[in-house]
Amino acid sequence: MIESTVKISMKDNNDLGCSYAIVCKDGISVIIILKASECAIFDYNELKENNSYNYLLLKHYINDSFAYKDFLKLIGKMCKKDKNSKYFLNHKDEDNRMLFYDFEHEKELNDEEKTEYEERFLQFKSFVLLNKNKF
């Protein structure tokens, strides 16, 4: 059995204007942060302790509804992941940034799309770094 502990704060219950979930396995934690149409997974301890923005996964959505539903799905996926996965112990050095169209169509961003989504990316990054000590 895979044992996970999940702590969730929804945007209606906090003053951050975002929803987030912290998934813990044997003292190793990831945080999933949803703000509007962006959602990212970070190594929780690394985010809190370092002044870095090393996401393990970052998704841009075409609407907030898809983002919210996928946020819930990602929580379940992180609960199911083994602690030796790339999300917990064995991080990979990759730019795992995705464009989510719907639940059957998502893909990695190409250079042109990265430019197109740059403003949203920078706003989300700024939000996370500004509030990292509140999560």
pLDDT digits over 5-41, tens only? Answer: 999 999 999 999 999 999 999 889 999 999 999 999 9
Cα–Cα nearest to 129, from 41, 24, 48 = 48
DSSP 133: G
Q: Is the pLDDT of residue 76 over 90?
A: yes
Q: pTM for the full model?
A: 0.94
90-126 tens-digit pLDDT? 999 899 999 999 999 999 999 999 999 999 999 999 9
The whole-angstrom separation of Cα 32 and Cα 22 is: 6
Lookup result for tokens 């951050």:
16
The set of residues, in sequence order, having a beta carbon less than 8 Å from that of 2 and lying 6+ positions away, is 25, 79, 80, 81, 82
Q: How confident is the model at residue 3 (pLDDT cuts 50, 70, 90)?
A: confident
pLDDT band at 1 (very low <50, low <70, confident <90, very high): low
What is the edge-to-edge ordering of all strands in the sheet holding 55-61? 5-9, 19-25, 28-35, 38-43, 55-61, 97-102, 105-108
**pLDDT one-digit tens code per residue, 51-64:** 778 999 999 999 99
